[in-house]
Structure 1
Amino acid sequence: MLVTDDIYTKDGTVDINKKPANKKKTGNWKACSFILGNECCERLAYYGMGTNLVNYLQEQLNQGNVAASNNVTNWSGTCYITPLIGAFVADAYLGRYWTIAIFSIIYFFGMTLLTLSSSIPGLKPSCTGDVCHPTQEQIAVFFVALYMIALGTGGIKPCVSSFGADQFDETDEVERKRKSSFFNWFYFSINIGALIASSVLVWIQMNVGWDWGFGIPAVAMAIAVVFFFAGSRTYRLQKPGGSPLTRIAQVIVASFKKLNVKVPADKSLLYEVADNESNIQGSRKLEHTDKLKLL
C-alpha cells in the first residue's frame, strides 16, 4: 500500500485526465521545459510588439508624440489590470491550465490581427513619402488587436509562474528543492525573450519593416501556444477552489460569530481535520499561528 501511495503526488494535483498525478509521468522538469519555452516565446512576442509601439503610432497612425505615448501608457496599464481578471478566473473556475490555454489563443489572434493591420493593403495605412493617412477603420482594427493582446496577457501573466510551481509536489522534499531552481530558470527565460525583442526585433522594425517587426512576434506567440499544448500530458493541475471572495466573506462572518469563543489550550484542536467538511477543493490547509488573533 505504501509503495502505491508513493507513485502519486500528495498535494492534490491531477493530470490532464483529472486522475491523481503520477510522479514518474507528470511534473518536474519534463513538464517545466514546455512551460519555460512557452514563457520565453510569449515574452519575446510581448516585448517585441510593445517596446517600439510609440514609434509605430507616430509613423503609421500619424499620431503626435503626446497622443502616442498616452495610448501606449493606457494599453500598458490595461496589461497590468487584466491579470486581476485572469487570476480570479483561474482560481475560481477554470484552473491555471485552461486559463492559460484559452487566453493564449486570444493572445495569438490579437498578434495575428496586429500583423495583418501592418502588412495587408486595406488594413495597412497608405503613406505618401514619410506621411501616412490611416482611416478610422484601420485605426479601429489596430486598437482591437492591441487590446486583444492586453486581454490575452491578462490570463497568462498571473498563472504561468504558479502553474510551473504546481509541477513540484510541496510534500516531497526533493521536489520542493527543485522548485527554487525552476524560478531561476523562469526569470532567465523571461529575460532572454525580452533581450531578443528589445534588440533584434526593434532593429527589424526600424530597418526592415513593421510587417516583419510584428510578424515575428506573432510567430513567436504561435510557437508559445504549441509549446504549451505539447506538454499537456506531462502537467500536474491544481483544481480550482471556487470564488476566493466567497471564502473571504466566510472568514469574516465566522470571525465575528466566534468573537467570544475561548481558544483551546491544546493547539492540535485548532487544526483543520482531514474530512470533507474541512476540505476546500483546490486549496491547501494552513497550520495554526499565534500571529493573527482575529481572523
Structure 2
Amino acid sequence: MDVESRGGGQNNYKGGETTIGEEITTVDWRGRPSNPIHHGGMRAAAFVLGLQGFEIMGIAAVGNNLITYVINEMHFSLSKSANIVTNFIGTVFILALLGGYLSDSHLGCFWTMLIFGFVELSGFILLSVQAHLPQLKPPHCNIGTNDGDSCVEAKGLKALIFFVALYLVALGSGCVKPNMISHGADQFNKDSPKQSKRLSTYFNAAYFAFSVGELVALTVLVWVQTHSGMDVGFGVSAAAMAMGLISLVCGTVVYRNKPPQGSIFTPIAQVFVAAILKRKQVCPSNPQMLHGSQSKVPNHHLNAATLLRTDRFRFLDKACIKVQDGETTTKESPWSLCTVTQVEQVKTLISVVPIFACTIIFNTILAQLQTFSVQQGSAMDTQLTKSFHIPRHRSNPSPTSCSSS
C-alpha cells in the first residue's frame, strides 16, 4: 500500500511510500490508504490535465473578449469597461489564495476543484443566458454611430445579473486554478527517482495543456463569439468547463489524495509572532543550539523536508531560541517556539517576494492587450482579402503560440 505517514520513528510498512516527519497520508477516494499499483501516476494526472486544458479554454475566451461584450452589449464606457475587465482578471488571481487555503485546511484539492468548478460553470451559464435574452440586457443600439450617445448603460437588475455571473466565474476559476497543478503533482511519489522524472514530464505537459487550451480559446472560441454571438460563445465556454469537470470526475477512482493538513498561513504567522516576542533575545553563537536543528535529529529521521539553517534574514532565527528556566527548558507553545525548518520555509517565502513583485509590472502591461488593444483592433480595417478578415484578437494568440512551441 502507498502510505506517506507521520512518524516519530522508522515505518516498516512494506511496499509503501513512507516519509518520516511529514504529516502527509495519501488516500483513495474512499479515504483508504492509496495503492501505488492502482492509484496515482501519469494515468491519474492525465485526467487533471484534461480539466486544466478545458478550464483555461473557457476562462480565456471570456476574459480576452469580455471588453467587447461589456461595451457593445452592456453599454459601459471604454474606461469603465477596462476597469471591469481588469478587476475581473485581478479577482481571479487574488482568489487563488482562497482556493489554496480551503484546499490545505478544509476540503483537499479534489473537492475544492469539484465544488468551485461547478461554481465557475454556473457563472458561464448565467452569462450565456443573459447574453441570449434581450430582456436581461439594455436596449440594443449601435455605439459606432451617432445613436451611440443615446445608448443606455446597464443598471439595476441587469447590471446585478451581469456582475453576479462574472464574479461567479472569477470565484470558481480562482479557487480551481491553484489546485489543478498541485493535485496533478500529488499523483507522483517525489521520493522515488522514477516518479520524480515523471513529475518533471507532468509539469511540461501541464504547461502544454495550458497553452493549447488558451490558443484554442483565443482563436476558435473568439471566432465563435464574433460570428455566432456572445451568447453562443459563452455557451461554448460553459461546455468546455463541463468537459473539464467530466474529465476530473472520471479520474476519481485512480487519484492519490492528500487530506487537508491545516492552514499554510498559521506556521508563517507563528514564525513572525515568535520572532517578535523574542526580539530582545540573543541568538546563540552556535546555530546548532536552535530548536529543530538537524544536528539534533537522528540520521534515519532526516528527510527532504528538513531544511538547514541559512544566514539570510537572521532576525527570524530568534523564533527558534529556547527559553531557559533555571536548569530546565520550559515547554513553549508553537506561537513562541518554532523549528529551524519552519523558519527556513518562511525565509524562502520572503525571498520570492521580489519575483512576485516583478510580475505586477508584467501583468499591468498584459492588461492593455486584453482591453484597449481589443478595441483598437475593432476600429481597424481587418480585411486581408475579399473573403478573409483578421480577427480583432490577432495579437493575443501570438505570445501563447510562441510559448507552447
Normalised by the length of structure 2, the TM-score is: 0.65
- Measured in 2, the distance between the counterparts of 1:290 and 1:116 equals 56
- Does 2:67 correspond to 1:89? no
1:56 Cα deviation after fit: 0.5
Contact 1:9 1:169 in 2 (8 A): no
What is the match of residue 154 of structure 1?
174
Distance 1:251 1:115, change over 3 A: same
**Unpaired segments ≥5 residues, structure 2:** 2-10, 318-342, 344-405
State the structure with bigger RCO (CA 8 A, min sep 6), 1 or 2. 1
C-alpha contact 2:74 2:137 (8 A) present in aligned 1 = no
Structure 1 pair 264/55, CA: closer, same or farther in 2 (3 Å)? closer
Q: Secondary structure at the match of 1:202?
A: helix
AA of the residue aligned to 1:90: S
Distance in 2 between the 1:5 and 1:124 partners? Answer: 64
Alignment of 1:139-288 (within 5 A): 139-252=159-272, 263-264=287-288, 267-270=294-297, 285-288=305-308
In 2: Cα distance, 1:90 partner to 1:24 partner: 26
CA shift in 2, pair 1:120/1:254, >3 Å: same
| CA radius of gyration, larger in | 2
Counterpart secondary structure, 1:13: coil
CA shift at 1:122, angstroms? Answer: 2.5
Superposed CA deviations along residues 244-271 of structure 1, whole A, max 9, x for unmatched, are: 2322233345566685565448944146
Residues 25/291 of structure 1: CA separation in 2 closer, same or farther (3 Å cut):
farther
Q: What residue identity is the alignment partner of 2:233? A: G
Q: Which amino acid aligns with 1:189?
A: A
Where 1:5 maps in the other structure, the secondary structure is coil
Which blocks of at least 5 consecutive residues in structure 1 are unaligned? 275-283
Q: Is the 8 A contact 1:272 1:285 kept in 2?
A: no
CA distance in structure 2 between the aligned counterparts of 1:270 and 1:242, rounded to whole angstroms: 24
CA distance in 2, matches of 1:249, 1:71: 34
**How far apart in 2 are the matches of 1:246 and 1:185?**
33
Once the two structures are aligned, what percentage of the paired residues are identical?
34
**Whole-angstrom distance in 1 between the partners of 2:18 and 2:117:** 28
Distance 2:59 2:298 in 1: 45
- In 2 relative to 1, CA 253–57 (structure 1 residues): closer, same or farther, beyond 3 Å? closer
What is the CA distance between 1:237 and its match in structure 2? 1.2
Report which stretch shifted further, 109-118 or 88-97.
88-97
Q: Deviations over 1:88-123 (max 9, x none)?
A: 111122221111111111111111111111113422
Q: Give deviations 1:100-154, integer Å, cap 9, x for gaps.
A: 1111111111111111111134224442566665453122101110001111111
Counterpart for residue 30 of structure 1 = 43
Alpha-carbon distance between aligned partners in 2 of 1:121 and 1:52, rounded to the nearest angstrom: 20
Matched, 1:5 2:14: yes
The 3 A distance-change label for structure 1 pair 205 and 171 is same
- Pairwise CA RMSD: 2.9
Q: Name the structure 2 match of 1:100.
A: 113
Contact (CA 8 Å) 2:54, 2:244: kept in 1 or not? yes
**2-structure distance, mates of 1:116, 1:167:** 38
